[in-house]
Amino acid sequence: EDKVVQSPLSLVVHEGDTVTLNCSYEVTNFRSLLWYKQEKKAPTFLFMLTSRGIEKKSGRQTSILDKKELFSILNITATQTGDSAIYLCAVSTTGANSKLTFGKGITLSVRP
Amino acid sequence: SAVISQKPSRDICQRGTSLTIQCQVDSQVTMMFWYRQQPGQSLTLIATANQGSEATYESGFVIDKFPISRPNLTFSTLTVSNMSPEDSSIYLCSVERGDEPYEQYFGPGTRLTVT
């Protein structure tokens, strides 16, 4: 059974801090790893990492994939209160149906 | 990305009734997915809906309880049938666009409360 584990489950930081969110996975036929930010209902797409793109950066966010060790990190620098959200990691596998297996999510709270 | 809308955005329903949720995309997509997120939990895939074929359901989900339609490449519906309080969840549709392979984008979600 495919498994995605995120840690820590929750995190409280102050504005300006740097945070690192972790995601490890055990899946058969790995295709890609995706990070989402969920503030209300809908997860917002952040990054997708595959064997062709193992590090992606957007503004203050950087995500890295280690395919050998089967994990990914999402790093956020100079955090702001607007970064407060649930961060979801999901893994996609090859096959006819591109299903995503999600981790439980990391609740990040950024205090002023 | 893709612009996805869902209707209704929220509803409160009585036990034993059914609700149909609509998902509309602004462009043609091959793969559409329906997920459920129960309170305090992560997302769980219910089924994959491809146009022109029957939906493929994940373990624990059956067509009688969650019938799905996919009449064309921009639209899908999910019905939650014979509802019980355990069906109270956020229901989300997502799409994978062919020109951005492997990236899935989510609709705004439908928050369902069953009393």
Nearest to B43 among A44, A48, A102 (CB): A102
Task: Please report, in tens digits, the pLDDT of each residue of chain B (115 residues total).
Answer: 678 999 999 999 999 999 999 999 999 888 899 999 998 888 999 999 988 778 999 999 999 999 999 999 999 999 999 999 999 999 999 998 756 667 889 999 999 999 9
| Strand pairing class (A10-14; A106-111) | parallel
For residue B17, give how far its alpha carbon lies from the nearest alpha carbon of chain A (Å).
Answer: 23
Beta bridge partners of B96: B31, B104
A97 touches chain B (CB under 8 A): yes
Other C-beta atoms lying within 10 Å of the C-beta of residue B86: 8
Q: Cα–Cα distance between B109 and A37 in angstroms, integer?
A: 14
- Contact list, B33 vs chain A (CB under 8 Å): 99-100
Question: Residues of chain A whose pLDDT is less than 50?
Answer: none
pLDDT at A97: 65
Point out the residue among A40, A42, A99 whose CB comes nearest to the CB of B107: A42
Cα separation, A103 vs A93, whole angstroms: 14
Task: Tell whether B33 lies on the interface with A, counting CB pairs under 8 A.
Answer: yes
Q: What chain A residue is nearest to B10 in terms of C-alpha separation?
A: A41
- Contact assessment for residue A86 and residue A102, using Cβ atoms and an 8 Å cutoff: no
Contact B68, B78 (CB under 8 A): yes
CB pairs under 8 A between A and B: 60
Nearest to B96 by CA among B43, B36, B48: B48
Query: Does B21 touch chain A if contact means CB atoms closer than 8 Å?
Result: no
Contact yes or no for A90 and B43 at CB 8 A: yes
| Burial tier of A18 (Cβ tally within 10 Å: 0-12, 13-18, 19+) | exposed
Residue A29 confidence (pLDDT): 85
Would you call B86 helix, strand, or coil by DSSP?
helix
Contact list, B56 vs chain A (CB under 8 Å): 97
DSSP per residue, A6-41: EE-SEEEEETT--EEEEEEEE-SSEEEEEEEEESSS
Give A 49-88 residues with CB within 8 A of chain B. 50, 88
Whether B60 and chain A come into contact, CB under 8 Å, resolves to: no
Which residues in B lie closer than 8 A to residue A31 (C-beta atoms)?
Answer: 102
